[in-house]
Structure 1
Amino acid sequence: MKSEKITAFRTLLKESERIVFFGGAGVSTESGIPDFRSATGLYSEKLSQHVSPEQLVSHTFFERCPEEFFDFYRKRLIYMDAKPNDCHKALVALERMGKLRAVITQNIDGLHQKAGSSRVLELHGSVRRSYCMDCRALYDEKFILASEGAPHCRACGGRVKPDVVLYEESLDMEVLDAAVREIADADMLIVGGTSLVVYPAAGLLHYFRGKHLVLINKTATQADKEAALVIHDSLGEVFREALVGLA
């Protein structure tokens, strides 16, 4: 059954010329980056209250407990040694074939760019960038890792914030609009490594009007019944096998 689905996936890739990939946490976990939700209860004793992972990366927590926020951020969200996996590499290969038009990602690790993808729309921002909230000076992840407590701007002393979308914050509308346009213009949409439960990102599927919707995820999603092809397996393995003989 798996080999039949891989063959079907390869056929759809051959037929398509305007492919868009929409990926979630499952793309990053195959590079050894854990889902931050695995940190349930961190700081419960220190803050005398239970703090969920979602609360830890919320705007409120960033404002009220900046030192604890950055402690979690450095330890659980920045992975300097992570490397692109077979999924990242396959998307670069599809782009070089002239087939892949864009990567839309919910991840913040910057691995798609590190692999070589040129058109990456980061719905939730990136840990690779931070900025001063006062003078807008820019900083990279190395600056955050080298700092202690809550980092401050070298130029003006203002507070530095990661360029990521925290809980309680809105997505960047320019990025979201660009993602909508790319999906609406695609003839094939590949959705990988996401359970499609986080909105508004999950709602992007409603803009797809192309021929082939393909879902690749280790577990079932709410959109499985709408897809032309569903593969419950490792993203990297599926892409690696599907690209054999494609070029």
Structure 2
Amino acid sequence: MSAVGPLDAALTVPAPAVVEPGAYARLRELVAGGGAVALTGAGMSTASGIPDYRGPDGTRRVQPMQHGEFVGSAAARQRYWARAYVGWTRFASARPNPAHRAVADLERLGLVRHVITQNVDGLHQQAGSHRVLELHGTLDRVVCLDCGEVTTRDQVQEWLADANPGFLVAVDATSPVRPDGDVALPEAQVQAFRPPLCLVCGRDRLKPDVVFFGGSVDKGVVERAYTFVEQARVLLVLGSSLQVMSGYRFVRRAAREGIPVAVVTRGGTRGDAETTVGVDALVGDVLPALVADLRG
């Protein structure tokens, strides 16, 4: 499908009221030309009830699980799985919001070629995006760090329910879900929790198939992402402060290759110096209006 046509006419849908019109017009121009690759962050999913690690000022509000701690400490794995067991039902019940659906619409319009997401919630796929590269993996898959056995998160949840009867009844069901998909629990409840064991090797080193902070993204995934960026006409950064190098590196690569970078997110980003046009707004306020405009 071809990209949307010329831009010499007036915008068919006005820019959202919270957006500076000149920035919106430039964003529209870049996206309308097609060939975009979207790089998405946690700000895409906050309207779906999945919180961000950072506020609009870029300050980290939640201390995430660290890769080294999880791998090296049985107590850390017990704490993670106790919290994640409680939080999973609510995390998994999250549904795509208008921003996710707008990105899928842009793909259907032939304007977005690929989505590189830093999120681990699968909401882009649920919204209808087909060309999604999960940079940091997905929470709905679990892998054994010792024997490599892979299973589904739903299966692990069933094992945990069998091993911890009555555990969910004893916890505070109102505790908010955290960005890792877990909830905060009192230490006494964590200590009483029985973490999952691998059914193949019997070890307790089951890990959600995601990249925790301090871990490394698979090199093959990184190379695929670089290829997508280098072939893009524009890199469209959505809902990310770019504070983490795993996402910021693609902005740097685009700038080095002379590829425009358009950013839609609240607040400033680490990539402000490489940004061609920045729209300081919620993705849910901008993207649906942009899709309606480009369709018009």
Residues 215 and 245 of structure 1, relative CA distance in 2, 3 Å threshold = closer
Q: 1:7 Cα deviation (Å)?
A: 3.4
Residues 132 and 58 of structure 1, relative CA distance in 2, 3 Å threshold = closer
Question: Per chain length, whose mean CA-contact separation is higher, i.e. which structure has more relative contact order (CA < 8 Å, sep 6+)?
Answer: 2
Separation in structure 2 between the aligned mates of residue 190 and residue 74 of structure 1, nearest angstrom:
34
Separation in structure 2 between the aligned mates of residue 119 and residue 170 of structure 1, nearest angstrom:
22
Corresponding position of 1:161: 207
Q: TM-score, normalised by structure 1?
A: 0.84
Corresponding position of 2:196: 151
Q: 1:177 Cα deviation (Å)?
A: 0.6
Corresponding position of 1:71: 82
Corresponding position of 1:244: 292
Separation in structure 2 between the aligned mates of residue 184 and residue 106 of structure 1, nearest angstrom:
18
Q: 1:61 aligns with which of 47, 70, 73?
A: 70
What CA deviation, in whole Å up to 9, does each residue of 1:183-214 have, x standing for no partner? 11111111121111111331221211354311
> Which consecutive unaligned segments of at least 5 residues does structure 2 have?
1-16, 56-61, 161-193
SS of aligned partner of 2:237: strand
SS of aligned partner of 2:26: helix
* Alpha-carbon contact 1:180-1:204 (below 8 Å) kept: yes
Root-mean-square deviation (Å): 2.3
Q: Does 1:230 align with 2:241?
A: no
Structure 1 residues 126-205: aligned runs within 5 Å? 126-148=138-160, 149-158=194-203, 159-205=205-251
Q: 1:7 aligns with which of 22, 25, 36?
A: 25
Q: Does 1:18 align with 2:30?
A: no
Separation in structure 1 between the aligned mates of residue 287 and residue 43 of structure 2, nearest angstrom:
13
Residues 174 and 70 of structure 1, relative CA distance in 2, 3 Å threshold = same
Identity %: 33
Separation in structure 1 between the aligned mates of residue 86 and residue 51 of structure 2, nearest angstrom:
11
Q: 1:75 Cα deviation (Å)?
A: 4.3
SS of aligned partner of 2:207: strand
Counterpart amino acid of 1:73? A
Q: Does 1:96 align with 2:96?
A: no
What is the number of equivalent residue pairs in this alignment? 232
> Which consecutive unaligned segments of at least 5 residues does structure 1 have?
39-51
Counterpart amino acid of 2:272? D
The higher radius of gyration belongs to: 2
Separation in structure 2 between the aligned mates of residue 220 and residue 189 of structure 1, nearest angstrom:
17
Corresponding position of 1:123: 135
What CA deviation, in whole Å up to 9, does each residue of 1:111-153 have, x standing for no partner? 1111121121112111011123344332222123333332123
Residues 224 and 167 of structure 1, relative CA distance in 2, 3 Å threshold = closer
Greater mean deviation of Cα atoms: 149-158 or 193-202: 149-158
Residues 58 and 137 of structure 1, relative CA distance in 2, 3 Å threshold = closer
* Alpha-carbon contact 2:39-2:247 (below 8 Å) kept: no
Residues 91 and 81 of structure 1, relative CA distance in 2, 3 Å threshold = same
Separation in structure 2 between the aligned mates of residue 96 and residue 236 of structure 1, nearest angstrom:
18
Corresponding position of 2:266: 218
Q: TM-score, normalised by structure 2?
A: 0.71
Residues 131 and 222 of structure 1, relative CA distance in 2, 3 Å threshold = closer
